[in-house]
Amino acid sequence: MPKAVIIDGRKIAEETQLDLKAEVDALAKKGITPGLATVLVGEDPASQVYVRMKQKACDRLGILSRGVRLPASIGQADLISEIETLNADPEIHGILVQLPLPKHLDAADVLQRVSPDKDVDGFHATNLGKLLSAKYWEDLPRFIPCTPAGVIRLIDSTGVEIAGKTAVVVGRSLIVGKPLAMLLLARQATVTICHSRTQDLGSETKRADILVVAAGVPRLITGEMIKPGAVAIDVGVNRLEEGLVGDIDFDSAKDIAGHLTPVPGGVGPMTITMLLANTVRSAQESAGA
């Protein structure tokens, strides 16, 4: 038996989706159906799987899901024009551009073309800027990036208070590490961000009461790099021959950490759930509900 409490991301995601379903049903009574557009460019197999999972989740909740599939050869201007059409479409409350985009496209520019009011991924500069400006949790923008939002829910599920704790985030991407550090700061943690140039990673991670790892390096963090009793959240998804593994070495971490997420079944299900939550919220706000 592991000493750590294993955080069941699937169960927490299911419970959250049940609550969301009730909100979707309440909107349906007012004649409103939340709508999510998923924009998929090209044939990348992993992206196709992710988009399908998101669409299925929408179907389960009664959210309209509009798949926009575009050829890998599409040019920047045509892609932007597709996004502008969705920006103007009253049936669509959220627009998700599945990343990565083919290399000839400027993904950063594309993300800025999504209306900030339909930016359910939270990647528009307006929403990221509001996240950076937020001093307190209440100041956060309508949309915050889904994976970091899901991580905070998982930490909260442990009952461990975030305020005043030492939190260490490994990874500084715009999708996970950086926005997550801002969220932890808004929850009054003392936050350190580590990255590929951090010297002596273990001495940093070992100080963490709350450790979140999003580096994309299989089993980067071993048990001896974790503070006994810490909350350890593994965002990493690495496809190895043996199957999916995280960035935390689960076997050595499970007897050291106080709470630990598995891979799969930890952060992943929460990311999709937060996307659905953002879409429902967008529909509620556009209807003044």
Residues of this chain that interact with ligand NAD (CB under 6 A) are 147, 170-173, 175-177, 194-196, 198, 201, 214-217, 220, 235-238, 267-268, 271
Of residues 37 and 170, the one with the C-beta less far from ligand NAD: 170
Measured at CB, which residue is nearest to ligand NAD? 173
CB 181 → ligand NAD: shortest distance, Å? 11
CA quadruple 59, 60, 63, 65: dihedral, nearest 10: -20
Q: Scanning the structure block, which residue is given the tokens 């496209």?
A: 105
Tell me the C-alpha to C-alpha distance, in Å, between residue 34 and each of 18, 58, 98, 190, 271.
Answer: 16, 9, 19, 37, 18
CB 272 → ligand NAD: shortest distance, Å? 8
Q: From the CB of residue 166, how many other CB atoms can be counted at a distance below 10 Å?
A: 15
Buried b (16+ CB within 10 A) or exposed e, 17-37: beebbebbeebeeeebebbbb
CB 248 → ligand NAD: shortest distance, Å? 11
What is the rounded distance in angstroms from the CA atom of residue 121 to the CA atom of residue 57?
16
Q: Read off the DSSP letter of residue 114.
A: S
> Active-site residues: which are they?
54, 98, 121
Of residues 190 and 198, the one with the C-beta less far from ligand NAD: 198
Of residues 17 and 271, the one with the C-beta less far from ligand NAD: 271
CB 260 → ligand NAD: shortest distance, Å? 15
Of residues 39 and 245, the one with the C-beta less far from ligand NAD: 245
